[in-house]
Each structure stands twice: as structure tokens, then as C-alpha cells.
Structure 1
Amino acid sequence: MSEKLAGYPEKLLCPCKVCRNLCHQCINILYEHLVIYEIDPTYKIWFHHGEELSRDDDVETMETFDSYNLFRATNIDGCDFESHLEEWLNHSVKFSYRGHWKFLKEDHPFRSKRSWFDGEVEHGNPPRIMNGTTIAEHLKDFVNELYVHHNMDVMHIEKNVCESICNTLLDVAGKSKDGLKARLDLQHMGIRSALHPQEKGTRTYLPTVLHTLSKLEKELFCKRLFSLKVPDGYSSNIRNFVSMEQCKLMGLKSHDCHILMKQLLPVAIKGLMPLGPRDAIIRLCIFFNQICQRVLDRESIMALENDVIETLCLLERFFPPSFFDVMIHLVVHIGREARLCGSVQFRWMYPFERHMKILKDYVRNRARPEGCIAECYLADECVNFCNEFTDHSIELNTKEGRNEEWSNDVILEGRPIYRRKEIILTDELLEIAHRYILLNTSVVEPFLKKHAASYTGYIINGQRFHVHDIEKSTQNSGVSIEVTTMCRSSAKDVSQVPNLVSYYGVIREIILLDYYIVQIPIFKCELENVPNGVRVEDSLTLVNLHQSQWSVGRYPFILASQAKQVFYSREHDSSN
């Protein structure tokens, strides 16, 4: 074997089934791998170890060699990991991508935290991001000006990160990133001695860690997700993926993981673990929530890039090295790609996966799926082409949205759902509702006489609202509204300034006021604001609707078009 070709004077590329010539090993470890895991059967010609390739070699071997060179040249998103982050875990039998504190600024306090990471003060620099010119030295046909070497799919990265976090928190057997092998890796690396496995007699015990939930905490975690109700069309029913008996999540799809990482996971872990690991996970969820927004600002993205590095450093403080696979590391580069390429919604796999669902529905004969897809796709194309030349034709593949509004000459906005019920408002409530409409709309000023009707549901602005008393599998009664009002800092302060105040509450009644020519929808709500029944804690908004009185009890009405939909989750059974 040629040590020169291997790239290390004391290490060689390991050709076993696990390493597959992707990592260097010492001679004795390489020998153990070959004995335990055997040689990779696809490695027929030892071109990584000195054997030269000839033109007579098969094409498959040549393509394997080229693919290998491409991987080592570009690595992951252009990072040069070979001498920086890439680390092989002998017991977990996989690569670990740690050392994210190298990305921090030189004067960042995390660099001096020896006990948090590997016991040493970090003075190194981050791995270089190779540009097209550097890669062209390895690959002559690569584009020199290419800053983004390949697009990263945020959908699958988010899904893998979500599954790693949930399975590790719930300590799911076979899927958790923390176990005996992970602890043996810590022992082999000589770090975090308090977490090393302890042998007592014939048994091996693993010390408890901060990020693993206890049995009661697992039950509360699963119960929060199982009892959670979200608005209609927001996501699938999360309770279908929660196993209360086994205390784990099963069968999560990509969009379910997206919803968990954006909003639901911080709600589920609130108060269930120490502040350190909980804060790190919440910060990671906030990063995914902000990076997946429709509108991104370049300056805010640069701030997100720095924040996510700190977040990964905090995760490295609490989670084992086996947790940091390549998917966790790719989070570092998501912000850079968003800054260069724009919003992630134009680059992730959701539209392609959904279109694949349409193509799969074309299959009628499972013995010939390709033929079925081709025939049905051609038929749709022909019919759509003919419809363009036919008057009063109905477009195919257009399904009316579940929460779309209907055009109506009478109702000013939105549309009611469910059964109409005639009601009689008291003079006081009718006057309050009428005053609110006159102050916020100009179309009804000429009309004074009015009648009212009540509904239990209403659709407006593409959202479905229900009254709070209806029992459904979804939660559509939560609303919030932002109003501009005069505020002062304290009771003694005489000066008042205009400020934007947020109110949160639930819908108690949906009323449609009839002014003969036009009908105006309004919501009667229970609302609270800061500090009467609302406070912010752990980046979550906590609302208490059972105070001594409503903050806006005298004026409970809002226009249906002003309502923004929110949903609530109980922290525990005794929560209000």
C-alpha cells in the first residue's frame, strides 16, 4: 500500500464495508476493521492504495474513483473537513462533525470554555469554504465562479434534525443518539468523564444526562402533543403519531417535522428539562422558524448565521458526539445559502414531493406503473390543451380550497359555515357592535336599522374560525388582534404615547349584522393583553383567560377581517 497516496504518514484509507475508503485509520485499527467488517466487495481495484487504473478497467470502477474524488474535493457544501471537523467514532461506527466553536469570533467567550467541549481552549480558525477555483484544481470541468456547489434541501435536513432531537429526548431504543456506544466514544476521546459508562459487577450503568427526559417528563411531553389541537389546514393531526403507551413519536412525515421544529417542539418541552439544553433546542427551533419565512432580510440572515453557530456550540456542550452527524452540521450552511440564493421555499423538496404524489395516483396497474403515469399525464395534457379553445370549459386539476371565500353581493367579506341561527342582541350589545362597525367601516353609514344572525363557524382571509364551545379535532377559536392605543409607563405617569398593543383570546360568538343591503361579520371574543393575562416566557406567549374580569369586557367585538388566528396548548392539566 502507498502511504503517500493515502495522504497521512501514519494512517491509511480503510477499505472495509463501514469506512468504504472515506476515512483514514491507523494500521492496527485498519487491520481490526478488515477482520471484523470485511473488505468492501465493490472495491475491486485498489486505486486508493497504489494500484494504477488502466484503460481496460471497467467503467463502473472508473466512475467510483471519480465520485470519490468529487466527494473528497467538495466535501460537504464546500467545507474542508479533512483536517478540521470530520472525526470517526469507533464505537458508534460513523462520522461526527463537532468543533463548531471554530466558527465563532476570535474573542467569543465560548472559545475559552474548556469544560464545555474537549478540555482545551480553542484558537483555531473555521474550515475554509472552497470556491470554484479551488475545486477546479481537482476537477477541471467545474464552474470557477460557482459559490454554491450544490443546493441543500432544508426539508430533509429539518426532518433529520427533528427526528434526532425527539428520539434522543425520549431515549427511543435503536434511534437515540445517546447510548452505550456513544458513552464509549466519550471514554475513548477522554472527555466528560462524569458520563463514562460505569461497570458494577456484571452490569454496565450509564450516568443520567441533562437532555434525557424522565419517565414522567416523557409522559407529559407526549400528552401535550397528543392533546394539542391546531387550526384547520395548519398540519395533520399530530396525535395520530404519538404513542402514549411507548412514549415515542412514530410515522412523522416531513411536514409534521417542519411544524414541530417551527412551533410545537418548544411548547412540548417547556419546563421539562434543565434550562441549558432546553434553551439550545428552542434556539434551534427559532432558527428554523425564521429561516423558513417567506421574506428574508440579508442583515437578519447574517445575524442568524452567527446565532446558529452559538446554538450548535450549546448543543455540543450537552449532547454526545454521536448526535452530530452530517445533517446537524449542515445547519451551519443553511443561512449562507439563503443569503446567496434567496428564500428556502423556492429550493426545498415540498413541491416535487407533492407532484410525485399526483403521479403515483395515476397508477392503476401496479405491474406497469411507468405506462400508467405516461398515459394519464398525456391525457391530462390533451384535455387541458383542448379546454383553452372551448368556451365555458371547466379546468381540470383545479380543486376549490377548503377555506376559500365565496363572492357574495350581500355579505361584505368572508362566508359563514354551518347552520344559521337567528338571535336577539340586547340593546347594549347591539349599540356596542353597531358603534364598532361604524368606526371601522364606511359602507354602512347610511343605514341605521339592523338585524343579527349567529353562526358557529366562519371562513375569512383563507382561514376557518369556530366558536370556542364547539368540540372538534382542530382548534379554530383562538384569535389575536393588534391595536394602536394610548399608553403610559406607570399609573403616576401623566404623559401618554401611542403604542401597538397585542390582545389574545377566543371567539365566543360569531354574529352577522344585517343592514339590509350589506351584512357585516363580527366576532364576540374574550380578550386579554399584557400584563393583565398575557406574558412571554421561554419565547412562548402565555395567556390566562380566567382572570377576575376581561381586559376589554366592555368592548368584546372585533371585525372578522381583523382577527389573526392563533392556537393554544395547555402547559399541564391545571392550566387555564
Structure 2
Amino acid sequence: MCYMDHHKFLAMDHPYRMDKRSFNSDVELRSSPALLDGEQIFENLKDFDNVFGKKQKNKIDGPWKKRSIFFELPYWKQNTLRYCLDVMHIEKSVCDNIIGTLLDILKKSKDHANTCYDLKDMGIRKKLQSKEINGGKKAKITKACFNFTNQEKTIFYDLLKSVKLPSGSASNISRCVHVAEKKISVYKSHDAHFMLHYLLQVAIKCRIQNQVAGPLIYLGSFFRFLCQKVVENDTIDHLEVDIIEILCQLERIFPPSFFDIMVHLPIHLVNELRLGGLVQFRWMYPIKRYLCRLQSYVHNKSRPEGSIAKGYLAEECLTFCSRYLSPDVDTRLSRRTQNYDNWKGIKDKEAIWKYVQAKFIISTKGKRMVLARINDNWRRYKTTIKQTHFLPYKCVNVMLKNRPKSIPESHFCKLIAYWRTEKVKKMSAQNKKNRAQQKFRHRKGLINFARIRERLAASKENNEPPT
């Protein structure tokens, strides 16, 4: 089943409604379909009988297959949000359709021979139809504008294979990519979430035509705005208009088989955002993580319930016992973070002080000075890198060529991108201006006081000591 004619959701004066060539060869004069409220659905299903068991041979009149048991509740027909569409599975299905169709992956692409024959029977989209050759004995299927060439596929796979992501942002996506076989598979729902939001926009930007890359980039931006932690009411109204136009633009490019139910459902996500609030409180990621945790307890597949019960009980016992272990032992409750962005993000500074005390004999009175010194050294290290390997050069390639050997190229690229942002440039200029206004320096610089005193004495006529 395909869901077409998304331009009927547009305003009546929108130019897409008059575009016969790009859609179904007809002018769209129908108005946007109205959503049924709970009262209307309750009246339609009031006399509906649920028939359980095997499928009935006689077709049921209307779109309904069963009457939900929740309508037995007296308040259910007044409920404005009777169900929640799962954003996690929608993103996964949309990402599968896009990657499978662009890369022409076997059994995952929506652009195949049957699609070309269907377009020919429907009499639409002549560019995507098959062409008969040798007197109709054979059919030739030409590549569409959204198909990658072999070289573009290799570049796309190499990009996903070599990508390095910040700690905690996503899993190792490169494990799913097979460059030699030109195949990507077995990626999880959160991998699809991250690729749809960020990676696909980078990978397709310079690989395919702008008329194809533009709507796909806008689609990723739509899901990124939809999943934000703070969404304003004005943004919701704009998102509702944007997703309709994005689906219309995709409908002008991809065949009808691309638009299954999961590609159509994003048009209803904005209204659910308005009624139900942020998607972080309604999607399936927390539940799926917990189910994955329970699944890890199963060692006897013939008795999964008992394995889960014993594994859960054992973990509770270990967690309880870990409260009585030494603070130096890393447990689930006391495990430290591996990576920190800045000094303020380090909460357990006491562990750093204990490590220093184990190496050196220092009184507790010097604790504050030691921690401050560590912070100063970290800031000085970043300043030295910036002054030595960033400011002297203007070309990014030259910066990467002369980067410190202790810093990987991917990490140094992030540093360059950070230092070249307007926010950092303004902050650096303001700090330089503030330092120029200081009458007395708080730091002597790289030259010690003995050499400064000697230089000042030499500048006087009688070599008098400086006052």
C-alpha cells in the first residue's frame, strides 16, 4: 500500500496543487482531510462486533477491523490523544527506505523493476518508467536521479566507515558498514536516529543533485527539531507546514512505492507533539534499553522467564553489596566518567587529589593550590596548541599537516572547527581587549623575575637595581 497525494494537505493556493507533471497527472482540488475526534470514532464503532479467530472471507465495510477495548472506558472518547506514534520506529523505517533506495541495496530498495511497471500502468512519472527495446522483447530500466554511482557508493561507505563520534553520542556505526561488499546492515534504531539527524546530511550533500539532496537534508532537520528538548509553539506551526512540503518534494522525486505507512506518518507527528508534549517522554528508547538489559540475562532459551528472574535478583544483590565496598573500587554506582569537556565538568576532584598525594608528599593545606595548578596547566596546554599549531596558519590542510603528533587528526579537526566559530572568535577578541585594559599584570609570562630584574637594571644609566 502506498500513500500518495500529500499535496492535498497544502493550502488551496499552493502551486504544487496545479503541478500535474510532478505528481499524479491531475490537478489537486480536494481539501485537507479532517481528523476524526473521539466522539465521531465512538459513533462509527458503536455497533461494531469484534470477530476473533481466523480472518473472515467476507470483507468488512469501512476501514475498521476491530473496536478498541479502551472505548469501554467512559472518558476514552473525550481523550484527544488516544494513541502515540513511536518516533523511534518511524525514524528507523524512514532511514532504511532512504539508504536502501539511494544505494540500491538488494531487497531494501524501493526502486525496482515492479515499481517501473506499476508507474507504466498508472501512466505517471515517465522518467522512471521502463523502456521497451528489441520490439518489446526486453525492457530497459534507466537509473534515476537519486541513484548513486559505484564511485559515489564507495565514497559514501568510506565516510560511514571512517566516522568517529564523541563518547556517548552513538554506537560504533562503522561496524555495520562493509565497503568491499557495498552493504550496510544490522544497525540499531539509535544508529538510524543519529544517521538521519546528522550523518546522512553530510554524506549526500555533495554526492547527488541538489533537487534530491535538499529535501532529504530538510527531512533530517525536521526530525532533529522534532526531537529537541525545548520546542516553542511557533516552531510547531512551522514544522507542520514544513513536513507537508518536504513530503511533496520527495513525492516529486521518488516512486510511489517509497511512500509506505512509515514515511507517511511524520505528517501526523507534529499534531501529537502539540497534544502530548515532547517526544522524549513518549518514544520507545527507554523501554527498548530495558528490554535489552533483560534479554542479556537469558542464558537458557528454553526457560527465558526463569533466567530473567534470577539475573535480575543477582544484579540487585550485587548492587546492594557494592555499597559496602571501598570507594576506590569502581562499581555501577561509583564509576567515573571517561571523558570531560572542561574542568568544571569534573565532579570528583577528590580522586585527583588522592592520586597526587599517592605520588608526592604534600600537606593538605596545598590541596586548593594543587587543583588550581592542574586547571591552569590544562588551560595553558590548550593555549600553547592554539598559538603554535592554529594561529600561524590560515589553511586547514596546513594546520592538519603541522598538528601535534599526540592529537589524532579527527580530534584536531574538531578543535579547528571550534576555534573558527564566531562565538569563540568574539570571546577571544573580548578577552584580549580586557587584558589590554589591566594596569598590573597578574602573570609574569615565560621570563622569570630574575631575568626581568636584570633587564630593568641594564636599561638604567648607573645599573641601579629596579625599584
* TM-score, with length taken from structure 1: 0.56
Contact 1:167 1:248 in 2 (8 A): no
| SS, match of residue 420 in structure 2 | strand
Structure 1 residue corresponding to 2:348, chosen from 394, 404, 407: 407
Structure 2 residue corresponding to 1:353, chosen from 288, 293, 299: 288
Q: Which residue in the other structure is 2:43 paired with?
A: 137
Give 1 or 2: higher helix fraction.
2
Q: Which residue in the other structure is 1:275 paired with?
A: 210
Deviations 1:199-221 (A, max 9, x none): 22343211221111112211122
| SS, match of residue 175 in structure 1 | coil
Task: Compute the RMSD of aligned alpha carbons.
Answer: 3.7
> Quick one: which amino acid aligns to residue 505 of structure 1?
A
| SS, match of residue 398 in structure 1 | coil
Contact 1:111 1:123 in 2 (8 A): yes
1:212, 1:300 → 2: CA distance?
33
Pairing 1:265–2:204 present: no
Q: Which residue in the other structure is 1:438 paired with?
A: none
Deviation at 1:333, TM superposition (A): 0.8
Are the structure 2 counterparts of residues 173 and 376 from structure 1 closer, same or farther at C-alpha, using a change threshold of 3 Å?
closer
- Sequence identity (%): 37
Are the structure 2 counterparts of residues 301 and 455 from structure 1 closer, same or farther at C-alpha, using a change threshold of 3 Å?
same
| SS, match of residue 349 in structure 2 | coil
Deviation at 1:350, TM superposition (A): 0.8
Contact 1:384 1:395 in 2 (8 A): no
Pairing 1:335–2:276 present: no
> Quick one: which amino acid aligns to residue 106 of structure 1?
M
Give 1 or 2: higher strand fraction.
1
Q: Which residue in the other structure is 1:98 paired with?
A: 4
Larger RCO (CA within 8 A; separation ≥ 6):
2
1:539-550 counterparts in 2 under 5 A?
A: none
Pairing 1:169–2:105 present: no
| SS, match of residue 204 in structure 1 | strand
> Quick one: which amino acid aligns to residue 403 of structure 1?
N
1:120-519 counterparts in 2 under 5 A?
A: 120-140=26-46, 142=71, 143-201=76-134, 202-381=137-316, 397-398=332-333, 400=335, 401-403=337-339, 405-408=346-349, 452=377, 469-470=405-406, 475-479=410-414, 505=417
Deviation at 1:380, TM superposition (A): 4.6
1:392, 1:225 → 2: CA distance?
43
Deviation at 1:309, TM superposition (A): 0.4
1:236, 1:275 → 2: CA distance?
30
1:471, 1:243 → 2: CA distance?
28
Deviations 1:300-353 (A, max 9, x none): 011101100000000000000000000000010111111111111111111111
> Quick one: which amino acid aligns to residue 295 of structure 1?
V
2:319, 2:376 → 1: CA distance?
47
1:346, 1:478 → 2: CA distance?
35
Structure 2 residue corresponding to 1:116, chosen from 6, 9, 22: 22
Choose 273-282 or 145-154, whichever is displaced more.
145-154
1:164, 1:470 → 2: CA distance?
41
2:146, 2:292 → 1: CA distance?
37
Contact 2:319 2:332 in 1 (8 A): no
1:407, 1:399 → 2: CA distance?
10
Deviation at 1:382, TM superposition (A): 6.5
Deviations 1:383-412 (A, max 9, x none): 768999x89999975362433634226989
Number of residue-to-residue matches in the alignment: 358
Are the structure 2 counterparts of residues 180 and 367 from structure 1 closer, same or farther at C-alpha, using a change threshold of 3 Å?
same
2:298, 2:334 → 1: CA distance?
20
Structure 2 residue corresponding to 1:528, chosen from 417, 420, 423: 420
Deviations 1:35-81 (A, max 9, x none): xxxxxxxxxxxxxxxxxxxxxxxxxxxxxxxxxxxxxxxxxxxxxxx
> Quick one: which amino acid aligns to residue 205 of structure 1?
K
2:266, 2:214 → 1: CA distance?
17
Contact 1:305 1:332 in 2 (8 A): yes
> Quick one: which amino acid aligns to residue 149 of structure 1?
R
Contact 1:231 1:476 in 2 (8 A): no
| SS, match of residue 318 in structure 1 | coil
| SS, match of residue 265 in structure 2 | helix
2:45, 2:319 → 1: CA distance?
45
1:256, 1:451 → 2: CA distance?
38
Are the structure 2 counterparts of residues 272 and 479 from structure 1 closer, same or farther at C-alpha, using a change threshold of 3 Å?
closer
Q: Which residue in the other structure is 1:92 paired with?
A: none
* TM-score, with length taken from structure 2: 0.68
Are the structure 2 counterparts of residues 372 and 161 from structure 1 closer, same or farther at C-alpha, using a change threshold of 3 Å?
same
Unpaired segments of 5 or more residues in structure 1?
1-94, 421-442, 457-466, 481-503, 507-526, 534-550, 556-576
| SS, match of residue 107 in structure 2 | coil
